[in-house]
A and B are shown apart, each in its own frame.
Chain A
Amino acid sequence: MGKLGETFFNWAIMAEYAPKVWEGLQLTVWLALAAIVTGLAAGLALALVRAFRLALLNFAIVVFVDVLRALPPLVLIIVLYFALPTVGIRLSGFVATWLALSMVLAAFAEEIFWAGIQSVPKGQWEAARSTGLSFAQALGHVVLPQALRITIPPLTNRTIAITKGTALGAVVAVGEILYQAQSAYSFSYNPSPLTLGAAAYLVLFIPVVWFGRWVETRFAWKR
């Protein structure tokens, strides 16, 4: 146990690199929040556009969603970061990771929002329109509020899963938790910084996982 403790819980090394990991934690939070905001907003926008049922636009949306659901996020990040510069587009690691995670979240969110909109009975549309609301008003004031409620549990889970993708930024040198822990590990040749990084993820994500559980029971389908 002594050796194990010294290897994985070397307090001196942990204390030395704790400020770095703390820096990484802050960046992880920023990156996650940025991706959540843009991803969800873009996903909702796409679902609303889809509700207008314009054939060509809808086809484009379905292609976008399918491609981003099939591609591994890491592949997307690598393409944005390593392939785009060869045609003169240079993105920082942060921007590449943010963009990739936002696009993936937008694709999944669009599917969920769209499923929610479709789940609202047709009679709701008809009743809303018959009171004189325009199509956009019926969508915004009647259909969407009902649709959003049932989208909350799947949306929460998907958002949490994609938020954990911020760790992929380590591959393109974004100084988030994993990157900081990993470089500290290479400097010190001791895995204690990795333990510290793992602990940082636990502190950050255990409450998030529990929040997801709570949302799931709170907004469960009434059958």
Chain B
Amino acid sequence: MEALIHAFFNLEILGKSAPILWAGLKMTLVLSLVVVPLGAAGGLAVALLHQTRLRWPMMLYVDFFRAFPPLVLLMFVAFGLPFVGLDLGAFGAVALAFLLNTSSYYGEVFRAGIESVPRGQVEAARSTGLTALQSMAYVVVPQAVRNVLPDLLSNTLEVVKLTSIASVVALPELLHAARQAQASTYNATPVIAAGIIYLLLLWPLVRLLSRFEHRQIASR
């Protein structure tokens, strides 16, 4: 037991690695605050274009990027693009890879939402004199978002968890910071601590989603 505490819950090591973990946590939060809105906006654009004549190209885009594991996309962007003179840096590469990946997932969610709004809503909106764009923005999208809110949140949870793969291209977010601290202290406490930080950060969202899901089923 003592050996376990020494190896995983070593307070002395934790104290030493606290500053680097804190810096990592801040980077994870900044990264999430960049990639979630970017991905969601991209996804909404994909879903809206899906309603136009660009339906097939959008479907291709979505299926193409959903077929890649996100880490594969990230490696390709981070290591491949510099060969054609496009070096975005670690943060830029992560942002671009996440935009391509998460916008296709958000796109599917938004599309399902838009398609769940009855056709009569658009007709009614148009008949009051709103333009096509206005009825989309003021009538359809707000209802669509409400209808798929649990799926949007669930996807957002996955995106925040996914930011941990940025550690692979040496972006100093939480997991990367923890591994650096582990390497310099020869002790696993920082990695365990990072796991606990992710838990504390995301557990409320997991609980909320669980409640949403049960309510959804109860209503059926």
Contact = CB atoms under 8 A, between A and B. Distances in A.
User: Interface size for chain A: under 10, 10 to 19, 20 to 34, or 35 or more residues?
Assistant: 35 or more
Nearest to A163: B69
Given A118-B214, A119-B220, A74 B167 contact: yes
B157 to A, nearest CB: 8
Contact of B79 (A71, A82, A194): A194
Given A87-B8, A170-B71, A185-B79, A78 B199 contact: no
B199 A70 contact: yes
Given A7-B84, A72-B162, A191-B79, A167 B192 contact: no
B202 A70 contact: yes
Interface stretch (B38-46, B88-96, B205-213): B205-213
B47 interface: no
A67 interface: yes
Interface in B22-68: 63-64, 66-68
A201 B72 CA distance: 9
B165 A82 contact: no
Nearest to B158: A161
Nearest to B182: A82
Interface stretch (A33-41, A52-60, A138-146, A205-213): A205-213
A120 B2 CA distance: 48
A152 interface: no
B195 A75 contact: yes
A71 B210 CA distance: 15
B188 interface: yes
16 contacts: A7-B83, A7-B84, A70-B203, A71-B198, A73-B161, A74-B164, A76-B195, A78-B179, A79-B195, A86-B187, A87-B3, A115-B213, A168-B165, A178-B71, A191-B79, A206-B67
Given A70-B202, A72-B162, A182-B75, 20 more contacts: A8-B80, A66-B210, A70-B201, A72-B165, A83-B7, A87-B3, A87-B4, A119-B220, A164-B68, A164-B69, A168-B69, A171-B168, A178-B71, A178-B72, A194-B79, A195-B80, A198-B68, A201-B67, A202-B64, A205-B66
Interface of A: 3-4, 7-8, 66-67, 69-76, 78-79, 82-83, 86-87, 111, 115, 118-119, 161, 164-168, 170-171, 177-178, 181-182, 185, 190-191, 194-195, 197-198, 201-202, 205-206, 208-210, 213, 221
